[in-house]
Amino acid sequence: MSNWFERNSLYIGLAAAWTAMLGSLYFSEVLGYIPCTLCWYQRILMYPLAGILAVGLLRRDRGVSFYVLPFSLLGMGFSTYHYLIQKTTIFGGETSCQVGVPCTTVWIDWLGFITIPLLALVAFVIITIMALISLQAPAEVEDIEAHEATPWLAVGGVIGALLIVFGLLAFVNRPAAASSESEPPPVTMLSAEEATDAEAMPADGAGGETSGEADGAALYAASCAGCHGADLTGIAGLGNSLVTSAVVKTYDDETLLLLIRNGRTADDPGHGSSVPMPPNGGNPNLSDAELLAITQYIRSQTQ
Ligand code: HEC
């Protein structure tokens, strides 16, 4: 282990904690992604680390790792569990989040595997490793001379923290003028072939000849009901009513399928509510055939 790492491990951990905290606030406050219950647990464990590590470093407290590890290790557990329920069915595909956004909702899916809990997991792992490196670093590597935080340091810290909070609030509440200039996402129509292919394709994993409508109901319950409600009338603050939706009434199947595929960001001109709709309803695994089954289910319930 190089000396450099031993001397700077806690700074790397601090950077990881701040990146994770600001990144998660960017996702929720700027992009409008709604954190699920499991996301909140990870936030509860991550956010204090941004402060604990900073104070530990300022006070040159070699014992800071002992305060960091309980948070980072628990955080690793939550992130791993969250990632597994997003990407696998080993916990039965059901989620522990019955209220609000389903924990299986995938807001981002970069390269097909990088989701928000995975990012959190990476941060928790970095912080844990850095805390462990700092723990085992020989005493002479660091200046461990007892170091009381001087008053100006405390004052500076408080002012800095206030500036950051006010800056963030100002940024988040900035007038939305700029966003209206952004281009609406192009609505490319499915070609006739693709559409018929999709209809002919059996629903993935459905295992045989179940009727499209029955599938649609189950798929709707799993991926959409969390926001649009079991009875399709919507849940305030999460998703609008599909029963009264003009979009559902007027769009044909392909356009509707495409809307669900793409989701809607809050700056989309067609957007009617204050929250975004995640692409695929937050479930990247839904095939065209499954989305069509859902669409048909929605139609069967709204006409
Ligand atoms: C995380 C919450 C969430 C989930 C999960 C979700 N939606 Fe949505 N959905 C929304 C929001 C919010 C809107 C409103 C977007 C807007 O105002 O443009 C919306 C809009 C829609 C619309 C357009 C309705 C209209 O009148 O504008 C359709 C159709 C729709 N969703 C279908 C689905 C389907 C099908 C699923 C499941 C595959 C799903 N949604 C999952 C949040 C969600």
The predicted-structure confidence for 146-156, as pLDDT tens digits, reads as follows 445 456 666 77
Residue type, 101: V
Residue to mutate, 227, 238, 268, 300, ligand 1, most ligand atoms under 8 Å from C-beta: 227
Q: Return the pLDDT at 271.
A: 66
CA 286 to ligand 1 centroid distance, Å: 15
Residue 198 has pLDDT above 70, yes or no: no
Q: Return the pLDDT at 139.
A: 62
Q: Whose CA is nearest to atom 38 of ligand 1?
A: 281
Residue 38 binned pLDDT confidence (cut-offs 50, 70, 90): confident
CB atoms within 10 A of CB 29: 14
DSSP single-letter state for residue 274 = S
Average pLDDT score over the chain? 75
Q: What is the pLDDT of residues 286-295, one digit of tens each?
A: 888 888 888 8
Q: Return the pLDDT at 188.
A: 45
Residue 148, class by beta-carbon neighbours within 10 Å (0-12 exposed, 13-18 middle, 19+ buried)? exposed
Residue to mutate, 277, 295, 297, 299, ligand 1, most ligand atoms under 8 Å from C-beta: 277
Q: How far apart are CA 185 and CA 63, in angstroms?
A: 51
Q: What is the pLDDT of residues 203-257, one digit of tens each?
A: 444 444 444 455 888 888 888 888 888 888 888 778 888 888 888 888 888 888 8
As given in the structure block, the two tokens for residue 275 are 């929250």
Residue to mutate, 240, 262, 265, ligand 1, most ligand atoms under 8 Å from C-beta: 240
CB atoms within 10 A of CB 283: 20
CA 242 to ligand 1 centroid distance, Å: 8
Residue 114 has pLDDT above 70, yes or no: yes
Q: How far apart are CA 11 and CA 9, in angstroms?
A: 5
Residue 181 has pLDDT above 60, yes or no: no
Contact 253, 260 (CB under 8 A): no
Nearest-atom index, ligand 1, CA of 248:
29
Q: Is the CB of 279 under 6 A from ligand 1?
A: no
Q: Return the pLDDT at 51.
A: 92
Mark 111-143 as b/e (b = at least 16 C-beta within 10 Å): eeeebbbbbbbbbbbbbbbbbbbbeebeeeeee
Domain 184-302, what fold?
Answer: Cytochrome Bc1 Complex; Chain D, domain 2 (1.10.760)
Contact 65, 29 (CB under 8 A): no
Q: Is the CB of 226 under 6 A from ligand 1?
A: yes
Residue 176 has pLDDT above 60, yes or no: no
Contact 72, 56 (CB under 8 A): no
Domain definitions of the chain by residue range: 3-171, 184-302
Q: Which residue has the higher pLDDT, 285 or 1?
A: 285
Q: What is the pLDDT of residues 71-83, one digit of tens each?
A: 999 999 889 888 8
Q: Return the pLDDT at 94.
A: 54
pTM over cut 0.75: no
Which candidate, 209, 228, 225, places its Cα nearest to that of 217?
225
Q: Is the CB of 216 under 6 A from ligand 1?
A: no
Q: Which residue has the higher pLDDT, 231 or 94?
A: 231
Residue 270 binned pLDDT confidence (cut-offs 50, 70, 90): low
